[in-house]
Amino acid sequence: MKSLVILISGRGSNMQALLESGYPRDCMTVISNNPNAAGLEIAKNYGVATIVLDHRSFPDRETFDVALAEKIDACKPKLVALAGFMRILSDRFVQHYQGRLMNIHPSLLPAFPGLGTHARALQEGVKIHGCTVHFVTPKLDHGPIVIQAAVPVLPDDTEQTLASRVLQLEHRIYPQAVRWFMDGCIQFIDNRVEVTNSGSDGMMLYSPGLPE
């Protein structure tokens, strides 16, 4: 089986969804830039190998990224999955893992890149919100989209209630996207992602209430 490396900075609820996805845990490694990340203990409880690389021990972002890439490459991963990794990665790092660095973002990209997505969605009065799994490129929160999930924005939604509903879908579509990649079902065509040979689960947009 091919190796999967998951990068976290905190609790890593998307990390936990990946750990529970059925992919062999002995093929997974969790790496954190935060030695106090709660997700490290969660990963250990699942029997998954963990590595800590404290970014505060490095003089700058580029030096940290070089050390991080060395740790990742030692695992010989097929895919690197960001799961709440709160570091802006250098262009050199991103390009090193081009086509095998995946992220989940809490909005329907290209809408609302960056932080504060749920509050911004409410402020703009959008009627549909959601989350996106995409491949990482040097441009923040851009890159080929793998799968999206949408939820309606309700009249009485708060930032917290909207975030909670979106997070439930994050936990659904991120493991799906990772599985597609690890199973060799993802192809890049003109900077777009196509999913092939995935059986009945090849739907790239999920929304509660739509047929599955």
Closest by Cα among 92, 68, 81, 98 to 39: 81
Rounded distance, CA 91 to CA 211, Å? 39
Catalytic residue chosen out of the listed positions 55, 96, 105, 134: 105
In sequence order, which residues have a C-beta less than 8 Å from that of residue 59 and are 6 or more positions away?
none
Contact 89, 67 (CB under 8 A): no
Residues found in the chain: 212
> Which candidate, 9, 4, 12, places its Cα nearest to that of 177?
4
What is the C-alpha separation between 26 and 101, in angstroms, rounded?
20
Residue 86, classed as helix, strand or coil, is coil
Annotated catalytic residue 171: no
Q: Please list the active-site residues.
A: 105
